[in-house]
């Protein structure tokens, strides 16, 4: 099998960090921050909240509850902002019916080069019933997506450097295309970046 190789410098000007303020999101934040330091990137931290449906309340109470959810999200985002204070960054809290639409718009509007998010590691029935937000982002994003699993400790972020990357393929023509695979040589170690399409 012929090896497709393209040598080019990786450019990550804008990183989108998605957070739901959970423990997995907290674990992913140091990875986003260190990638930003390594590549001189700006980090856009985004939280999208979907207002809960309040069936048995008055419209006034519903509006108040949604506003309280939004204020709580903004307060949580202050913690994220403090962890990014040494980097160029911007934080955003958006209200939406679904996460993907907001992420898709952010990727387009902010010219995002990479998305970073933590995963909850749901499997089986829980994944079937709740779906996987990370999987949806991974499958639909037109840019590389770095997912940090629940078993990864933030002490393993290694300064935004990768020594081994698993490139998954089913050997179809589409999976073997070099887009947007990038190779970067650094200290005799070659790093591969890939995005599933």
Cα–Cα distance for residue pair 125/139, rounded to 1 Å: 20
Per mean pLDDT, which range of 52-66, 105-119, 136-150 is the poorest? Answer: 52-66
List the single range of 37-41, 58-62, 137-141, 188-192 with lowest mean pLDDT.
Answer: 188-192
Half-sphere exposure of residue 114, counting CA atoms within 13 Å on the CB side?
A: 23
Lowest-confidence range among 23-37, 126-140, 161-175, 183-197? 183-197
pLDDT at position 175 is: 66
- What's the pLDDT at 51? 75
User: Cα 50 to chain center, whole Å?
Assistant: 18
DSSP 159: G
Going along the chain from its start, the domains and CATH numbers come out as 14-149 (3.40.50.620), 162-197 (no CATH)
CB 116 within 8 A of CB 28: yes
What totals of helices (H) and strands (E) does the chain contain, helices first? 6, 7
pLDDT attached to residue 71 = 92
């Amino acid at each position: 099998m012929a090896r497709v190789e393209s040598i080019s410098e990786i450019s990550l000007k804008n990183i989108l960090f998605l957070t739901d303020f959970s423990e997995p999101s907290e674990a992913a934040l140091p990875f986003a921050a260190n990638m930003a330091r390594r590549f001189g990137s700006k980090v856009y931290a985004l939280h999208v909240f979907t207002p809960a449906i309040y069936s048995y309340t008055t419209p006034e109470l519903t509006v108040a509850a949604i506003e309280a959810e939004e204020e709580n999200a903004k307060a949580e985002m202050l913690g994220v902002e403090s962890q990014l204070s040494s980097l160029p960054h911007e934080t955003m809290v958006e209200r939406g019916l679904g996460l993907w639409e907001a992420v898709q718009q952010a990727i387009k509007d902010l010219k995002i080069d990479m998305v970073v998010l933590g995963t909850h590691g749901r499997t089986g029935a829980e994944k079937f019933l709740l779906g996987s937000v990370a999987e949806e982002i991974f499958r639909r994003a037109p840019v590389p997506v770095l997912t940090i699993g629940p078993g990864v400790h933030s002490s393993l972020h290694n300064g935004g450097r990768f020594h081994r990357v698993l490139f998954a393929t089913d050997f179809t023509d589409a999976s073997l295309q070099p887009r947007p695979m990038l190779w970067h040589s650094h200290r005799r170690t070659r790093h591969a970046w890939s995005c599933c399409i």
